Amino acid sequence: MELLFLGTGAGMPTKERNVTSIALTMYEERGSFWMFDCGEGTQHQVLKSPLRLSKLEKLFVTHLHGDHIFGLPGLLSSRSNQGGTASLTLYGPPGIKEYIRTSMQLSQSRMNYELNIIEIQEGIVFEDEQVSVSARMLDHRIDSYGYRIEEKPKLGTLLTEKLNGLGIRPGPLFGMLKRGMDVTLEDGTRIIAADVVGPPVPGRTIVILGDTRPSEGSAALAKRADVLVHEATFAQELSDLAKEYYHSTTKEAAQTAVEAEVKALILTHISGRYAQDGAQLLEEEARSLFPNAYVAHDFWSYEIPVKSREEI
């Protein structure tokens, strides 16, 4: 699992930063990647990255401001021309369905894959045997959501030395025990799966927020997450401006991370006024409250480490 930041700027693109888009790669887990927001020019950013649109499985939109959605029509159209034939599901606030359908219809764009559009509310928006995704409303000028992605615990590893001691060699019985199925040997010995399989490996939790001022929704979503991606449009000295425009400062994002007890904080949606050395100053400001904080830049990646069993 890895976060790849395709666009980290706020409002409009600059020479250093494109507008918002984040990819969550899950190639080992699902053979695909997910995308969060799709600002203008995102498909160009994808072309400069290792990503392939044919592997895009799900796309989550936080809110309907242009710097988060203007790249959608082009990217959805290009996916067809880049070998994307598997179905794609898009999640977003009410209005996203009308925006996509109108854009695609008026431009006479064609897709050779099934596009499912789900307009979300607070609560669980997706769940399967591997992962669940829940959404909460944030505090912005329009409806803006944050997403909490929770990986479910993985099966423990087989205690192979113990199995060898029982005279069981690698083969079909290993697979059955690994899946939690008790087995009976030819001599009538009953092997209980729980006795020969280690404890489950806890899943990871990633939280990605849309634009927001500090809010109850942010804190609730972020609780004890492995990584929190939080906007930090302004430095703390511009806190009045941040409040007026429904954005957050570096220290406000860091304070959320402290209170939520997250492990890592990544700041994005950076105002164009913080060019060159400005990002380092923002990072230092956040680290004064939360040491494990980073300011993302375009094409920067962050690997989410697998938890140890002791972290259950």
**Domain layout of the chain by residue ranges:** 2-154+204-307, 160-196
To the question of whether residue 230 is assigned a binding role by annotation, the answer is: no
Other beta carbons within 10 angstroms of residue 106's beta carbon come to 9
To the question of whether residue 247 is assigned a binding role by annotation, the answer is: no
Half-sphere exposure of 289 (CA within 13 A, CB side): 19
pTM: 0.89
Q: Which residue's structure tokens are 């025990």?
A: 177
- Inter-CA distances, 174 with 155, 167, 186, 197, 217, Å: 13, 12, 15, 10, 44
pLDDT at residue 254 in the model: 98
- The encoded tokens of residue 72 equal 């959608």
pLDDT in tens, the chain (312 residues): 999 999 999 999 999 999 999 999 999 999 999 999 999 999 999 999 999 999 999 999 999 999 999 999 999 999 988 888 899 999 999 999 999 999 999 999 989 999 999 999 999 999 999 999 999 999 999 999 999 999 998 877 778 888 887 777 787 878 788 777 888 887 888 888 888 887 788 899 999 999 999 999 999 999 999 999 999 999 999 999 999 999 999 999 999 999 999 999 999 999 999 987 788 999 999 999 999 999 999 999 999 988 765 554
CA-based nearest residue to 11, from 273, 278, 269 = 269
To the question of whether residue 44 is assigned a binding role by annotation, the answer is: no
- The encoded tokens of residue 133 equal 């995704």
For the CA atoms of 232, 235, 240, 244, the dihedral, rounded to the nearest 10 degrees, stands at -30
CA-based nearest residue to 212, from 286, 136, 122, 139 = 139
Chain-centre distance of CA 191, in angstroms? 40
**Exposed / middle / buried, residue 38 (Cβ in 10 Å: 0-12, 13-18, 19+):** buried
- Positions marked active-site: 67
To the question of whether residue 140 is assigned a binding role by annotation, the answer is: yes
Distance CA 120, CA 126 (A): 10
Distance CA 312, CA 166 (A): 29
CA-based nearest residue to 80, from 61, 104, 106 = 104
pLDDT at residue 310 in the model: 54
CA-based nearest residue to 144, from 223, 224, 208 = 208
Q: Quick one: 2-154+204-307 is in which CATH superfamily?
A: Ribonuclease Z/Hydroxyacylglutathione hydrolase-like (3.60.15.10)
